[in-house]
A and B are shown apart, each in its own frame.
Chain A
């Protein structure tokens, strides 16, 4: 089978070979370097902001986890308290007061307050770890 050359191939070939190249641009190197440095500076600032946000969110994660842990520590005490007595039930400060008195810690904390705190801590943790925690890319990827 003979191979017939595509006439368009030749026409395109000629047309593109004959196309004059654009004139070199004066100062292209300087413009490119200036642009690159501006982008690098903007990137560095963005990374610094992200890292700072990252540290804050990590701190908040720890606080939320601490809140949950505190609630878990106090929960057994609350559940074992006598909820009908109404004595010393309304604040965490009462836990300290109860300890100082040598009385039972179990009488101190309102279970409803504890459940709210636990809910708040858990929500904070979920929100921070899933939404607010940025993962800054430290590597430049050309477009």
Chain B
């Protein structure tokens, strides 16, 4: 069954790479790509360069997009591969979020500050996961995608997505427990 294409302004104009269509494509999916890059631990100039590379690959590949899958899952598949390669390339100078200054923790009641700190630790732990695990976590928790769409985006069966999520949670638990044990 062909999936819905309602949100696409025009498949043909996308394939022809019309300016308006490309502009829509980038604006509409920018947050998705940037969110994934952020979940994989990229930030600053790395994040911007990686996002530009993702959309460059999308721009080159879009004439071949047949519309057999949803545009966002197709695009996300390219994003996961590109960002995984990017992180692999940059692994030597890749620094996880824990090694960089944290985002400002909001002032206020102690509970709020504690929650913010815990969230920072979770974000940092997600950034240390394998790229596919980070992508699964990002799509499931942050973007709220259904399992079927995550499976399509990661190009694997739903069972594998469930395993990925289970394993990622397990690893997150281990990492967070390890941090708590540290003096």
Q: Decide if the interface of chain A is mainly helix, strand, loop or mixed.
A: helix
Interface size on B, residues (CB 8 A): 44
The digit string for A12-31, where 1 denotes a CB below 8 A from any CB of B, is: 11111111111011001101
Whether A35 is near chain B, meaning CB under 8 Å from some CB there, is yes
Whether B150 is near chain A, meaning CB under 8 Å from some CB there, is no
Provide the bound-state CA to CA distance between A101 and B173, in Å: 96
- Are B123 and A35 closer than 8 Å at their CB atoms? no
Q: Decide if the interface of chain B is mainly helix, strand, loop or mixed.
A: helix
- Are A33 and B59 closer than 8 Å at their CB atoms? yes
- Are B138 and A32 closer than 8 Å at their CB atoms? no
Residues in chain B within 8 A of chain A (CB atoms): 22-23, 26-27, 30-31, 34-35, 37-39, 43, 47-48, 51-61, 64, 78, 81-82, 85, 103, 118-119, 122-123, 126, 137-138, 141-142, 169, 172-173, 176
29 example contacts (A-B, Cβ-Cβ < 8 A) are as follows A8-B176, A9-B169, A11-B118, A11-B122, A12-B137, A12-B172, A15-B122, A16-B126, A16-B137, A16-B138, A19-B123, A19-B142, A21-B34, A22-B34, A22-B35, A22-B47, A24-B31, A28-B52, A28-B55, A29-B26, A32-B55, A32-B59, A33-B22, A33-B56, A35-B52, A36-B55, A36-B56, A142-B57, A142-B61
